[in-house]
Amino acid sequence: MNRIQEAFKKARAEGRRAVIPYLTAGYPDPETFLALAERLAGAADLFEIGLPYSDPLGDGPVIQQASEVALRQGVRTKKTLELVGALAARTRTPLLLMTYVNPVLAWGPERFFSAFAEAGVAGVIIPDLPAGEDPDLEAATRAAGLSSVFLLAPTSTPERVRAAARATTGFIYAVSVTGVTGARERLPEAEVRELLARVRAETALPVAVGFGISGRATARQAAAAGADGVVVGSALIRAIEAGADPLALLLEVKQGVQDAAD
């Protein structure tokens, strides 16, 4: 069992769901990112770091803007590696890298994945890489010792669900809605529940719900629908933009998934 699956197992043993915060590397600036990431990781089961990218098709306006801010400060692959290494030295929480295919290809898959594995990343999420579309890229991920996380949405076909179940070695990332990332007031709970049921018919892997987790209420909805964990990103970045404490919001999310357990 890898570190990612162990994190979900530990959460289940404690009678709760896993909580996975997301921040864009280097946002709002590299030093502040590290300080915030360390605090959030300390209250999380896993921590997701987004590599700033100029064309993040799967991200909504909040994360797109965070990427633009980080890119203007020179935070690209090399700097993200440095930040990942610095964070890995400060926390034992498993780290996930979220990137798109182009930055991987620009470095070369073997070099890219090996570098991030050495820096301390435990798994990788590539939203624009459907499972089974590039076996060589998947093999390079495995060769570097990284766990893979594939996304599925309510519109995913049975074939796509089966492919993701076969290829995933970390957890299935269940997208709550068709569209881009972003905090929402309410999740389509029936659709999420149906997607989770279809995934569980194919695999015993843990399933985390993201794209729409904004606070206690939506976290409770995801947990009540049967999620093993929740991912929260845009809402945390909005809190940082507003000068609020993102840790307070993350603790609200944790309370929301606990509400469902109670």
pLDDT computed for residue 180 by the predictor: 42
Residue 48 among the catalytic residues: yes
Supply the mean pLDDT for the chain.
92
What is the Cα–Cα distance from 249 to 146, expressed in whole angstroms?
29
pLDDT computed for residue 106 by the predictor: 96
pLDDT computed for residue 58 by the predictor: 66
Residue 123, helix vs strand vs coil = strand
Indicate which residue of 48, 110, 133, 189 is catalytic: 48
> Regarding predicted confidence, which is higher, 151 or 188?
151
Residue 241 among the catalytic residues: no
pLDDT at residue 184 greater than cutoff 50: no
Predicted confidence (pLDDT) per residue in 139-176, tens digit: 999 999 999 999 999 989 999 999 999 999 999 999 97
Rounded to a whole number of angstroms, the CA Rg of the chain reads 17
Q: For the domain that residue 174 is a member of, what is the CATH number? A: 3.20.20.70
Q: How does DSSP classify residue 159?
A: H
Indicate which residue of 45, 59, 138, 228 is catalytic: 59
Q: What is the mean pLDDT of residues 177-200?
A: 70
DSSP for 58-118, written as a single string: T--HHHHHHHHHHHHTT-SHHHHHHHHHHHHTT--SPEEEE--HHHHHHH-HHHHHHHHHH
pLDDT computed for residue 61 by the predictor: 87
Q: How many domains does the chain have?
A: 1
Enclosing domain of residue 159: 3-261
Predicted confidence (pLDDT) per residue in 54-110, tens digit: 887 767 789 999 999 999 999 999 999 999 999 999 999 999 999 999 999 999 999
- pTM score, whole prediction: 0.93
- Give me the percent of the chain exceeding a pLDDT of 70: 95
